[in-house]
Each structure stands twice: as C-alpha cells, then as structure tokens.
C-alpha cells in the first residue's frame, strides 16, 4: 500500500468539516454551494476543503453544464478501511488472548 496515499487520506479526514462533507456526499452528489451551506463558510474556504479531499482522491469533481458537482469516491475509503481492519484484527486477537488468560487465572485462583 502506498504510504503517501494513506497519509493524504488520513490527513484529509483529520478535519471535522471535511468529514462532514464526506458524510453529506455519502447520500449523493452535491454542488460546492450545497456542501458549504451547513457551515456558513466562504466559497474560498469550501474550495480549499474540496481541493484537499480531491487531492486525497476521496471525492471527484464532475462538470454538469456550467456547474461543478462533487461525488464520493468510495474506493479510496476502502483503502483506509482495509488498513484499519488489519489493526482491528490484531487487537481483537490480543484482547481474546488476554480474556482467555484472565479466565484461566481466575478459575485457578478459586
């Protein structure tokens, strides 16, 4: 897995406004104005957020006549999810081993 790609994904998702944009786009495409509305931020500010998300390949810009629409790029989220799942499996195994150890010690102390 490309470390730089993973870093750009997690950096983009580190900001709560960008996570909210991703959440909004999970229900369908939207314009920059529609995405900016809940935040009450300027067009340049929303453009910066959208550019970060585009550079991380989390969203894609589509041109619809003279309007630009944004769409979630779910394959990129799958990359992050796969990376996280490797560590989830690791910790679940560790916690299961700890649970077994504690149960063994608890029963031998009785």
List, for residues 30-79, the tens digit of each pLDDT value.
999 999 999 988 889 999 999 999 999 999 999 878 888 999 998 898 88
pLDDT at 1: 58
Nearest to 6 by CA among 83, 75, 60, 87: 83
Contacts 24+ apart (CB under 8 A), 7-14: 8/55, 8/56, 8/57, 9/56, 9/57, 9/58, 9/76, 9/77, 9/79, 9/80, 10/80, 11/52, 11/56, 12/52, 12/53, 12/55, 12/56, 12/58, 13/56, 13/58, 13/80
Name the architecture of domain 3-108: Orthogonal Bundle (1.10)
**110 compared with 25, residue with greater pLDDT:** 25
Q: What is the pLDDT of residues 75-110, one digit of tens each?
A: 898 888 888 888 888 888 888 889 888 988 877 776
**110 compared with 15, residue with greater pLDDT:** 15
pLDDT at 110: 67
Provide the residue ranges of all domains of the chain, joining segments of one domain with +: 3-108
User: What's the burial of 17, exposed, middle or buried (CB within 10 Å: 0-12/13-18/19+)?
Assistant: middle
Q: Rounded to 5 degrees, what are φ and ψ at 59?
A: -135, 160
pLDDT at 64: 79
């Amino acid at each position: 897995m490309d470390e730089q790609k993973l870093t750009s994904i997690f950096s983009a998702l580190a900001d709560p406004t960008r996570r909210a944009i991703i959440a909004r786009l999970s229900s369908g495409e939207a314009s920059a104005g529609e995405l900016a509305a809940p935040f009450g931020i300027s067009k340049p500010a929303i453009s910066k957020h959208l550019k970060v998300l585009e550079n991380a390949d989390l969203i894609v810009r589509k041109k619809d006549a003279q309007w630009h629409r944004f769409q979630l790029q779910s394959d990129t989220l799958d990359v992050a999810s796969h990376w996280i799942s490797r560590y989830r499996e690791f910790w679940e195994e560790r916690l299961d081993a700890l649970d077994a150890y504690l149960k063994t010690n608890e029963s031998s102390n009785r």
